Every structure is written in C-alpha cells, then in structure tokens.
Structure 1
Amino acid sequence: MKYPTIVLFALAALVLPTLATNDYLWGTIGDNDYKLAKDTVSKAFFVGVVQKKTYVFKQSNNLDALTITAIKVTDKKKSNGATVVLSSGGPGSKGATLKFTSERGCGISDLVEIWGR
C-alpha cells in the first residue's frame, strides 16, 4: 500500500515542475481599470547563455498619466519560462520597470499587460 503512494508522489514531483509556468500578477485588476499597455517581451535563446531583458513602461504625459493598479505577466512558454522581477514602479505609481531573466540556454517569451485608472 505504501509503495504506490510513494511512486505517485515521486512522479508528481517530476512532472509538475515541467508543467508550471512563470505567470505573475502585481496588484489587482478592478472593474473600472483601463488596459494601459499590452506588449510582448521576447528574446531568442542562445545555447549555454542566460538571456536578460528589461521592459520599461512610461506614460508620455505626466500631467494626464494614469496610476497603475496591476501588472500581469503571462509566460507564453510551456516550460523553462523566464523569471520576472518588478525592479521599480508598479501598482500605485505612474511607470514600471520589469527585468526578465531566462534559464540557461532558453529564451524569453512573455506577454505584459499593464492596467490602471
């Protein structure tokens, strides 16, 4: 009885990380929020190299700039997705800087959506 359970947990521990994606959400998307930006961040893979990319969101007119309420990053890769760090700005501010880092030998392919009001 113990062995099938152990085998099941071991199999789940091997399979689930490969199915997991690196999706992120900072803040909350409200009913009255507008989509301020929708951009694809991508960088091709190179064998043995960790790829890095910085995404900067700025609004052109500071006087009429909306306040960011949420940033949603959706990983478009099924496995080996990039990690994302919100290095400055974000919810409650007018701009944001995101830093993407791929796994070694993998590329970056993410969808960034920024919401505000």
Structure 2
Amino acid sequence: MKYPTLILFALAAYALPTLASNDYLWGEIGPNDYKLAKDSVSKAFFVGLVQTKKYVFKQSDNLNALTITAIKVTDKKKSHGATAVLVSGGPGSKGATLKFTSERGYGISDIVEIWGR
C-alpha cells in the first residue's frame, strides 16, 4: 500500500511545477494607486534556444513623475512560462527594468502592469 502512494506523490511533485505559471508581484497595489502602464512582453520561441527580453519603463516628464508602488507580471502561458527578474528600479522609484528569460525551446508571453501614485 505504501508504494502506490509514493508513486502518486512523486508524479505530483514532477507535474505540478510544469503546470504552474510564473506570476510575480513586487510591492503592493493600494486603493489610491493609478495604473501607469500595461504592456505585453513577448518573443517567439526558437528550437533549442533560451530567449531573453528586456523591458524598460520610463516616465517622460521626470519632474512630475509618479512613484512606482507595485509591478505585477502575469504569465499568459499555463506551462513553460518565462521567469522575470527586477533588474533595477521598481517600487519606491520612478522607473524600472525587468529581464525575462524563457525555458529552452520556448518563447516569452507576459503582461506587465505598473502601478504608482
């Protein structure tokens, strides 16, 4: 009786990470925050290669620029999604740079929302 249970747990441990999407939230979205940007970040797959893409958010008028309170990244893929890393800026600053990295042989398909006040 122990072996079928162990096999079931092993299969679940193997399958669940591949089904999880890579959604991220840096900071906290407050009730008085404005959506500063909503952009789609995508790059097509290429067989055998890891795809990377850099996303840069800058505000045009630096004197009246709002402060970022949160950055939300939503992965549009259900499996084999790209990872996102906040390289610079982010909550508490006026701009942000994100780097997306796909799994080998897969593309990038994410939505970035930036909130601030």
Which sections of structure 2, spanning at least 5 residues, go unmatched?
none
* Structure 1 equivalent of residue 64 of structure 2: 64
Aligned to 2:9: 9
C-alpha distance in structure 2 between counterparts of 1:11 and 1:46, whole Å:
29
**Could you say which residue in structure 1 is the equivalent of 2:93?**
93
Query: Which segment drifts farther, 11-20 or 57-66?
Result: 11-20
Q: What is the root-mean-square deviation in Å for CA atoms of aligned residues?
A: 0.8
TM-score, normalization by structure 2 = 0.96
Runs of 4+ in structure 1 deviating by more than 2 angstroms, as ranges, are none
Q: Following TM superposition, by how much is the alpha carbon of 1:7 offset from its aligned partner in structure 2, in angstroms?
A: 1.9
Distance 2:42 2:89 in 1: 21
The Cα shift of 1:5 comes to 2.0
With normalisation by structure 1, the TM-score equals: 0.96
Per-residue CA deviation, residues 53-79 of structure 1 (Å, 9 max, x unaligned), is: 100000000111000000000000111
Residue in 1 aligned with 2:77? 77
Q: Deviations over 1:9-52 (max 9, x none)?
A: 11211220121111111000001100000000000001111111
Question: How far apart, CA to CA, are the structure 2 residues paired with 1:100 and 1:52?
Answer: 5
Q: Does 1:113 align with 2:113?
A: yes
Matched with 2:52 is 52
Q: Which sections of structure 1, spanning at least 5 residues, go unmatched?
A: none
